[in-house]
Amino acid sequence: MGVFRARVIRALPVAAVLALAANAAAAPAGAAVGVSGGVAAGSVSEQTPTAGAVVGAGGATYTPATPATPADHFPTRPLTRYSRGAVVRGLQRALVALGYRVSITGRQDAGTARELRRFQRRVHLRVSGRGDGPTLAGIARALQAAASAKHPPSTDSVSGLVFPIQPRSVAVGPSEWEPDQGVDIATNGSACGASATLVAIASGTVVDEGISGFGPYAPILHVDRGALAGRYVYYGHAAPALVAVGTHVRPGQPIADVGCGKVGRSSGPHLEIGISVPGGPPCCPRWGETSAEMQRILLSLWR
């Protein structure tokens, strides 16, 4: 029997986690994802950093000036069954930061696998209980959403509402919006996923997810404050959802991404955002029934 020599998996500091989020899902097994998004196959040499040092991209080490955060040792590529130590602790810390009940052991134990399965089910990933590429990308994206929730985009000073696509620069201008049941807003360059985040337009609770024709992840927000209180806002063609049904969100808090490809009955990445009839059901209004009202709201937030 040959002797297996485990490869050491490098870890990235927290600032680099968000840069690799969009690339980890596409990385093949055994490939390392760089901060710039590059993917390189091959083994990673062992490092012997000084006490308290963190191994960064390219093998460089540094000593953090501040205490370690949940993503300080987040893995840069899919874990194998032989992975252990700091890189697994980083994954476990990230799960704890997202509210999952995991012991920080540095081992891929039964509790870690159980909570990974919970996360995978919540964001509609293949349920394996393993730290594979799509799961690492999903966790990094969830950490980004949690960080954004602490520093949401500024609200309109009059209405208290927020434009639903962030950053706003990825959305096409009003002259290209199209009325439907709601309002269709495409993205520049077909931006989608982590490049085009959908945020809560107002304070409220995500009461449902998945709408026929709009895709299995489309969230519905029940607004609880301001002029739209009591109304429902739906986000068509979103994928994936970033918060669970039942979550209360603040204006500007990420709740989903613009779906990549064709999500629901769609020709490509875009958002259809609509609002319910006052006193009506959560979804969905008839064609043109409330789209003019939603268009006026969006225009006021665009200026």
What pLDDT digit, counting tens, does each position of 99-117 carry? 888 999 999 999 999 999 9
Alpha-carbon distance 104 to 32, whole Å?
Answer: 24
pLDDT digits (tens, 9 = 90+) for 218-233: 999 999 999 899 999 9
Give the residue, 41 or 302, on which the prediction is more confident: 302
Tens of pLDDT, residue by residue over 125-176, are 889 999 999 899 888 888 877 776 666 665 655 578 999 999 999 999 999 9
Paired strand residues for 61: 55
Is this prediction's pTM over 0.75? no
**Could you give the angle at which helices 133-150 and 14-24 cross, rounded to 10 degrees?**
130
Enter the tokens of residue 105.
């052991």
* Structure confidence by residue, pLDDT tens digits, 179-219: 999 999 999 999 998 889 999 999 999 999 999 999 999 99
In the chain, residues under CATH classification 2.70.70.10 are 165-302
Q: How far apart are CA 137 and CA 18, in angstroms?
A: 9
Assess whether pLDDT exceeds 90 at residue 61: no
Cα–chain center distance at 139: 8
pLDDT digits (tens, 9 = 90+) for 245-271: 999 999 999 999 999 999 999 999 999
The 10 Å Cβ neighbour count of residue 58 is 8
**Rounded CA gap, 132 and 75, in Å?**
10
Res 56 pLDDT > 80: no
Q: What number is the average pLDDT over the span 75-99?
A: 88
Query: Looking at domain 165-302, which CATH architecture does it have?
Result: Distorted Sandwich (2.70)
% the chain with pLDDT above 90: 50
| Res. 31 pLDDT band, cuts 50 70 90 | very low
Asked if 231 and 271 count as a contact pair (C-beta separation under 8 A), the reply is no
Q: How far apart are CA 128 and CA 118, in angstroms?
A: 10
